[in-house]
Amino acid sequence: MPPPRPPVVIASANGNHFRNGGRETCVEHAFSLIADGADVLDALVAGVTIVELDPEETSVGFGGLPNADGVVQLDASCMHGPRKRAGGVAALEGVATAARVAQLVLEHSDHHLIAGAGAKAFARRMGLSIEPDLNSPRSRTVWQEWRRRVDAIGGIDEAAPSALRAIELAMIADGWIDANHFYGTINCNGVNAKGDVCGVTTTSGLAWKIPGRIGDSPILGAGLYVDNEVGAAGSTGRGEANLYNLCSFVIVEEMRRGAHPKDAGMEVLKRIKNNTVEKRLLNSRGLPNFGINFYIINAKGEYAGVTMYEGSSFAICNENGPQTVKCDGLLQGRPSE
């Protein structure tokens, strides 16, 4: 009988950056828990909670960039490979730890997804505290600057989508927001020594989105997909592109047919590129003017991080410790070029 393999945890790059004042990052903490015998999903949720609670991270949880009304609305999903169960929340307000609420949906309901006021009420029934505002001073200040620019062109109800997109790109170019944080999100997937696979994705969603907008993160097959016999895939970046193509599901199916995680990821990036045809979403080269990343692991512990444009990174923790490494890119240059 072959010896057990060491656990592997993979995440978006913010999974090996934020510590919320503690000693461990998301991937470090999740790996240590899995290595000590914890349930894989319990470990992953504990890991992303570190990021959700860190006010310096503006793409998830507390301090996540709010919607157009200045309200932080969170989306999250999780999938437990061995149990073949899933849970998610969307447009959740008042609870920074959206991944934990998604896990509670998995554990304590017959549903996969609960949204809006119902998600908040469910979290309250599960004993979680409801906060009046999840904005940090930083996220509030950035929203105020966005609102000032939108009001200068007549307000959100009068502005065309292309004009709003121009403001978004200008906010990134002017340094108000990091390009990776505009779309937000942390995805974290892991496999233990027995080959059990789980995953979680949590986000504050698209910055300054229309209130009630739900992105790819809580949608099974888009922001996250797990099959215990095959592996897991999750995403950060432009959620609408992922939703249109259901990329995480496709990646797992590509791996089921024998593809390596990197090759499976590249296949869906090509699909996104070919299906992006709206002028407002194309740069001067006729290519997508947005970024999107996928974080992929199979049941054997092989992994990859892939991105539309070279330059992005991802986090990995295995027996060699935590690392942040470059993703494999489909395209050269930058999305804005």
Domain boundaries, the chain: 8-135+178-331
pLDDT computed for residue 331 by the predictor: 97
Strand order in the sheet with 328-331: 224-227, 231-237, 292-298, 303-309, 328-331
Tell me what pLDDT residue 294 has.
Answer: 98
The one catalytic residue in 185, 201, 276, 307 is 185
CB atoms within 10 A of CB 287: 19
Active site residue 185: yes
- Nearest 5°: the CA angle 66, 327, 237 is 25
pTM of the model: 0.95
pLDDT for 319 equals 96
pLDDT of residue 3: 61
Question: What pLDDT was estimated at residue 160?
Answer: 87
CATH code, 8-135+178-331:
3.60.20.30
Task: Centre a 10 Å sphere on the Cβ of residue 326 and count the other Cβ atoms it contains.
Answer: 13
What is the distance between the alpha carbons of residues 70 and 140, in angstroms, rounded to a whole number?
Answer: 7
Residue 94 to residue 140: CA distance in whole angstroms? 15
pLDDT of residue 181: 66
Mean pLDDT, the chain cut into blocks of 10 residues (337 residues total): 80 97 97 98 98 95 96 98 98 98 98 98 98 96 96 88 88 85 86 97 94 97 98 96 97 98 98 96 94 97 97 96 98 90
Nearest to 197 by CA among 85, 294, 293: 85
* Distance separating alpha carbons of residues 78 and 49, to the nearest angstrom: 13
Q: What is the dihedral of CA 91, 85, 252, 305, to 10 degrees?
A: 60
